[in-house]
A and B are shown apart, each in its own frame.
Chain A
Amino acid sequence: MSMAEEITYLETGEKKKVYTVCEEFVRVMHLVIDGEADEQEKHWFARHISSSDDCLKHFDEEKTFRNFFKEKCHCLSMPKEVIEEIKAKLASLGTE
């Protein structure tokens, strides 16, 4: 994905970072997948992926990766004996 570019306003000399469309796409794509995009961002995103196969592909890959990642990193369970220990400790707290 392309990087942010820094532009300088000739009149004021003020520097500002601007993002290319694809950088903006990545930002909005994460918001969409996270369920945090507002209506305007959703609309912009839908229009963008309908006109860019590369961006659509990137979106699909990102969703696949997220699922894969979640599956790989959500595999731990609390040992049963520790759960029983917690219950016992809670019970003893109650009677103190």
Chain B
Amino acid sequence: MITGEKTADRPQKNLNLPERQKMFVSEFLPYVDALYNFAYRLVLDEDDANDLVQDTFLKAYRFFDSYQPGTNAKAWMFRILKNSFINDFRKKSKEPGKVDYNDIEKTYNSDDVQSNKTVDLRVETEKDKIGDEVANALNNLDVDFRTAIILCDIEGFTYEEMAKILDIPIGTVRSRLHRARNLLKEKLKDYAVTMGYKN
């Protein structure tokens, strides 16, 4: 057994519950917005993005013992999120629509049924924001290309980190990025001209 070594590498194993939770939150919560941004760009739906990020945090907590503090926490979380997206959300979106009767029952039995009809202005503002041409161009890319652009150009991951997050060779990271950028440029060409940019 190499438990002693592993415990030294992973002090969270020796912590009591409150300390462990505190460490988890301080280590990973700073990336919540970046994760949400990534999740949203993958699923293109606010509720699904919320679910995906929540799911990511819960999975990460479950596997917290395998995380080595001081290593790349952000990349670790992005990898979990990407895997959750592939394993759960992509599968779900390919299945025919399902009705969750528990949700319906909960909604109709609750006291504030009427409040569900209220328009959430925050959501509307968010929709306006992401209705921007540039974000639209990104959202319209195939998910693999979109992911490459987000990880590199928005989140600033290195090619090596991207290869680990996406489980692909570095050569594939390079070629995917190259193709993604060409596709994005193509989609943005018209927009750039209207904004006063030349080719």
- By size class, the interface of chain A is 20 to 34
Which residues of A does B touch, CB under 8 Å? 27, 30, 34-36, 61, 66, 68-70, 72-79, 82-83, 85-87, 89-91, 93-95
Whether A86 lies near B57 (C-beta < 8 A) is yes
Which residues of B does A touch, CB under 8 Å? 17-18, 20-21, 24-25, 29, 32-33, 35-37, 40-41, 50, 53-54, 57-58, 61, 122, 126, 129-130, 132, 134-135, 138, 150, 152-154, 158-159, 177-178, 181, 197
Closest CB-CB distance, B101 to chain A, in whole Å? Answer: 22
Which B residue's beta carbon lies closest to that of A33?
Answer: B153
Residues of A within 8 A of B197 (CB): 61
Cα distance A27–B159 in the bound complex, in angstroms: 14
Whether B33 lies near A72 (C-beta < 8 A) is no
Residues of B within 8 A of A95 (CB): 17
Contact of B153 among A66, A77, A87 (CB under 8 A): A66
Residues of B within 8 A of A74 (CB): 37, 154
Cα distance A76–B33 in the bound complex, in angstroms: 7
